[in-house]
Amino acid sequence: MAGNKQSKLIIFSAPSGAGKTSIVQELMKQIPSLEFSVTATTRAKRDYEVEGKDYYFISPAEFKRKIQNGEFVEWEEVYENQFYGTLVSEVERILAAGKNIIFDVDVKGGMNIKKKYGDRALAIFVQPPSIEALKSRLINRHTEDEESLKKRIQKASSELQYAPFFDVVVLNDKLDEAVQKAKKYVEDFLDQ
């Protein structure tokens, strides 16, 4: 990357189960200048997740302390005592390395990052084909009980209303097509 070119921020947001993480992971393989911004969370670590790679897992008390100290670019209490947020230190670390940052964040988080960084950021909303498709994807992940599935579907219905506020919307009906569309948007933005 040219030394005089300012690093950029690529934000992927979507309701849970829309496929944003799959798209982000694929783009990370295909675009070497991207570095993943690891999110901090208070939710329980899943068996396959790696500390510092998938998330920074911290306690609710620690998370609240970091909020009070202004250590987050954005954060949200997604469900009661279940927080997610982007650490200022994580963004500064990646920018200092001269890399472009790719975010995998919830809808409100994505809007907050876009508001903070403006034209330096590209905000992409990943749209599921339907609420029914979203529900079946969540069921197939086997990570939700009946109650959390219901909460995620309710939240997804309201999050879909935010799509028009993003720079671009990528429909994820077929993953490979969604990845190709997203890649084109990202590469065009990075080339500007």
Q: According to the 3-state scheme, what is the secondary structure of 116-184?
A: HHHHHEEEEEEECCCHHHHHHHHHHHCCCCHHHHHHHHHHHHHHHHHHHHCCEEEECCCHHHHHHHHHH
CATH 3.30.230.80 describes domain 9-185 = no
List Cβ neighbours of 168 (8 Å cut-off, separation of 6 or more): 122, 123, 124, 125, 185
Q: How many angstroms separate the CA atoms of 145 and 127, rounded?
A: 23
| pLDDT tens sequence across 70-95 | 999 999 998 788 999 999 999 999 99
pLDDT of residue 160: 92
Each of the 192 residues of the chain gets a pLDDT tens digit; together they read: 344 478 999 999 998 888 899 999 999 999 999 999 999 999 999 899 999 998 999 999 999 999 999 999 999 998 788 999 999 999 999 999 999 999 999 899 999 999 999 999 999 999 998 888 888 888 888 777 888 888 888 888 889 999 999 999 999 999 999 999 999 999 999 999
pLDDT of residue 176: 96
Q: Checking DSSP bridges between strand 9-13 and strand 121-127, what pairing results, if any?
A: parallel
Give me the residue spans of the domains in the chain: 9-185
pLDDT of residue 23: 97
